[in-house]
Amino acid sequence: MKGAKPVIAIDGPAGVGKSSVGKAVALRYDLSFLSTGEMYRCLGWKVLDMGINLDDEDKVFEAAKNIKWSFERASDNSLKVFVDGVYLGGKLFSDKVGQAASKASASARARAVVTQKQIEIGRAGAIVMEGRDIGTVICPGAQVKIFLTATAEERAKRRFLQLKQNGKTADYEQLLSSIKARDERDSSRAVAPLKPASDAVIIDTSDMTLRQVTDKVLEISSPYAS
Ligand code: DC
């Protein structure tokens, strides 16, 4: 069963821990790791930076089409995403950019452009990819498909604690409503909505620690990757 270049697809809603789990699995099995949401965040950031109205589909599509993507594998195995040669890093993780990414990613034509790039990356294999549609659209032939879930309240709580730990201010109710808004938009859009592939293993992480979730995904992936 072991494949030389397996693809491990991890999908799920905002704030469920896909990146933390995916990075740990990639490191353990010496695979690359890509957060596909980071690419949509780059698009969201660019649209905001250019002053484009997020409801203007033509302009959002143009912005997506004109992005020159490049990637560099970092020491933690994750692929750093460069937009037009620039690494945006921490600029991508504000709530404003997250909401812009969610809106821009609902535009079918802009999505098609980003999807094409992600399909190319997935085809090369030897990668853990996380997002909303990896198992359904980007890598339907992935050897491992995981769908992580947790209640919106639990995800808001985790995010709240994470921000506090990093010495940032946080408002639980605001985080919860933001997560619910993104869930609603990401799940109800016409193209590639957030949903588990029919052959995905669904893991409800609400009562699990990060370590437990990681161990479970490592165990499921082991026949294909170790
Ligand atoms: O995973 P994230 O929070 O960084 O993703 C930001 C937004 O990008 C998310 O709200 C929806 C969109 N997204 C998507 O539509 N498809 C993906 N594969 C990944 C993210």
The series of mean pLDDT values per 10 residues for the chain, 226 residues long, is: 83 95 97 98 98 97 98 97 96 93 95 98 98 97 98 96 90 96 93 94 96 98 91
**CA 126 to CA 85: how far, in whole Å?**
24
Buried b (16+ CB within 10 A) or exposed e, 45-60: bbbbeeebebeeeebb
Angle among Cα 96, 98, 103 to the nearest 5 degrees reads: 95
Ligand 1 lined by 44 (C-beta under 6 Å) = no
What pLDDT was estimated at residue 117?
98
**CA 89 to CA 178: how far, in whole Å?**
21
Domain that holds residue 187: 7-217
Specify the ligand 1 atom closest to the Cα of 186. Answer: 11
User: Which DSSP letter does residue 87 get?
Assistant: E
Q: Are strands 86-87 and 79-83 parallel, antiparallel or unpaired?
A: antiparallel
How many Cβ atoms from other residues are within 10 Å of residue 37's Cβ? 21
- The tally of domains found in the chain comes to 1
163 within a domain of the structure (yes/no): yes
| Tokens 């094409």 belong to residue | 116
* Domain CATH code at residue 169: 3.40.50.300
223 within a domain of the structure (yes/no): no
Nearest CA residue ID for atom 14, ligand 1: 132
Specify the ligand 1 atom closest to the Cα of 118. Answer: 18
Cα(81) to ligand 1 centroid in Å equals: 14
What pLDDT was estimated at residue 162?
87
Phi, psi of 225 (to 5 degrees): -125, -20
68 within a domain of the structure (yes/no): yes
**CA 224 to CA 132: how far, in whole Å?**
22
193 within a domain of the structure (yes/no): yes
Ligand 1 lined by 132 (C-beta under 6 Å) = yes
What pLDDT was estimated at residue 1?
56
Q: Is 80 helix (H, G, I), strand (E, B) or coil?
A: strand
222 within a domain of the structure (yes/no): no
Cα(221) to ligand 1 centroid in Å equals: 23
Q: Phi/psi class of residue 126: alpha, beta or left (left: φ > 0; alpha: ψ in -120 to 50)?
A: left
Cα(179) to ligand 1 centroid in Å equals: 12
Cα(224) to ligand 1 centroid in Å equals: 26
Closest CA to 130 of 24, 12, 218: 12
164 within a domain of the structure (yes/no): yes
Specify the ligand 1 atom closest to the Cα of 189. Answer: 15
226 within a domain of the structure (yes/no): no
